[in-house]
Amino acid sequence: MKQLFEETKERLIRYAKINTRSDERSETIPSTNRQLDLLYLLKEELEELGLEDVEFNKENAFVTATLPSNIDHSVPTIGWIAHVDTADFNSENVKPQVIENYNGEAITLNEEQNIVMDANMFPNLANYKGETLITTDGTTLLGADDKAGIAEIMTAMHYLMRHPEVPHGKIRVAFGPDEEIGRGADRFDVESFDADFAYTMDGGVVGELQYESFNAAACKVTFKGQNIHPGTAKGLMINAVTLLNQFIQALPQNEVPEMTSDYEGFFHVMEIDGTVDEAHLSMIIRDHDRELFEKRKQLVKTIAEKMNASFEEERISLEMFDQYYNMREIIEQDMSIVNLAATAMKDLNIEPIIEPIRGGTDGSKLSFMGLPTPNIFTGAENMHGRYEFIAVESMVKATQVILEIINQNALL
């Protein structure tokens, strides 16, 4: 227990300090070269641990490795997957802070800038009284999404290397890029990975076990105006910024992330810019139900068509593409891998929380690519921002779940 505690803590802090922020505007793989810093480090560490077949694939920017089976009968090969990139929030000069024996009260993340994580604003903090927390310094994210997942997988592999007496089947490991921008798994080589199923360690609170995700699409909208001097603009000017605003107002106003939960889908305008002459909008569309998902996409197209109908030429153009689909469609065909994880958790006195992801993981794509991949908790909370934190005790539990799943699989 102490070994797992110290190692997961040390690994997360070390990985968190490496800036791996991805960039959706980039067309390279990975989207940012800085992700390579961590990928190459992980390759070296896997080699040092003694895993076999350690490779870095330049085509998809995944590091993979193998822990060979040490038992004399055949069992399914399990894959363990996590992503190196962090979300679109400042990740330069991350300074993790360790708070031992947390007292349950507000945490001053940055005294100089008066940045406080208020226990009233974040009631989930009360769940961690007496535990060891890792937080940010208030100016960056932490990156526990998903460097905690990496730390947990690496610690589990190290444990198995140090304890060859523990029976296990063949294990495959993969660390990859660009999950946060929805395309990390696009070129993943499922065939060469050669696992029967996998788990992403990319969830939140202890107990999360997820096999349902959103259906997801991204949409970029361009508004073309007609700029005329405002003094003589009557009847002539077409303001692209005004068109952008009209488009947003035409969307269902209560179907946004801040007003939805559970299985409710949404439209999420993420970025806008523009002038009178031309404006741009970037948004995402989400729904767990495939039919409702298609209706949401059609609504966006219909709004653009109706607006265009009021002009002699097209003023609003769309670029829309699907990002991933609800992995439930694949995984529910064989729930044994979900049941395996749930049983492992229960044997560790962890109550499984089986709820849909209000987002997606690499497993959303991998499942449709032929590798069924549910998602398991890492312990991270308040992800993607300055108030992100994680309890080391939660990371230990996640590591124990990995080991218990491997143990139960070896007994099949």
**Do 304 and 247 meet the contact criterion of CB atoms below 8 Å apart?**
yes
pLDDT in tens, 84-101: 999 999 999 999 999 999
CA atoms within 13 A on the CB side of 404: 19
What is the pLDDT at residue 88? 92
Tell if the pTM clears 0.85, that is, is over it.
Answer: yes
Domain made up of 215-324: CATH architecture: 2-Layer Sandwich (3.30)
* Residue 309's pLDDT band (cuts 50, 70, 90): very high
What is the pLDDT at residue 147? 98
CATH domain 1-212+326-411 topology: Aminopeptidase (3.40.630)
> From the CB of residue 230, how many other CB atoms can be counted at a distance below 10 Å?
10
What is the pLDDT at residue 361? 84
Say yes or no to pLDDT of 24 above 90: no
pLDDT in tens, 251-293: 999 999 999 999 999 999 999 999 999 999 999 999 999 999 9
Whole-angstrom CA distances from 327 to 76, 85, 212, 334, 409 are 20, 22, 6, 12, 22
Please compute the mean of the pLDDT values over residues 152-176 and round it to a whole number. Answer: 98
The mean pLDDT of the chain is: 97
Say yes or no to pLDDT of 79 above 90: yes
Say yes or no to pLDDT of 1 above 90: no
Known binding residues for Zn(2+): 83, 145, 180, 202, 384
Domain(s) of CATH 3.40.630.10: residues in the chain: 1-212+326-411
pLDDT in tens, 50-66: 999 999 999 999 999 99
* Residue 360's pLDDT band (cuts 50, 70, 90): confident
- Backbone phi, then psi, for 305, in 5-degree steps? -65, -40
Question: Would you please indicate which residues are annotated as catalytic (active-site) residues?
Answer: 85, 179
Say yes or no to pLDDT of 304 above 90: yes
pLDDT in tens, 105-133: 999 999 999 999 998 999 999 999 999 99
What is the pLDDT at residue 236? 96
Strands 78-83 and 197-201: what pairing?
A: parallel
pLDDT in tens, 167-204: 999 999 999 999 999 899 999 999 999 999 999 999 99
What is the pLDDT at residue 392? 98
What is the pLDDT at residue 340? 98
**Residue 270: both structure tokens together:** 């993420």
Say yes or no to pLDDT of 379 above 90: yes
What is the pLDDT at residue 310? 95
Cα distance between residue 50 and residue 153, in whole Å: 15
Domain(s) of CATH 3.30.70.360: residues in the chain: 215-324
Task: Please report, rounded to a whole number, the percentage of residues in the chain having pLDDT higher than 90.
Answer: 97
Cα distance between residue 59 and residue 358, in whole Å: 29
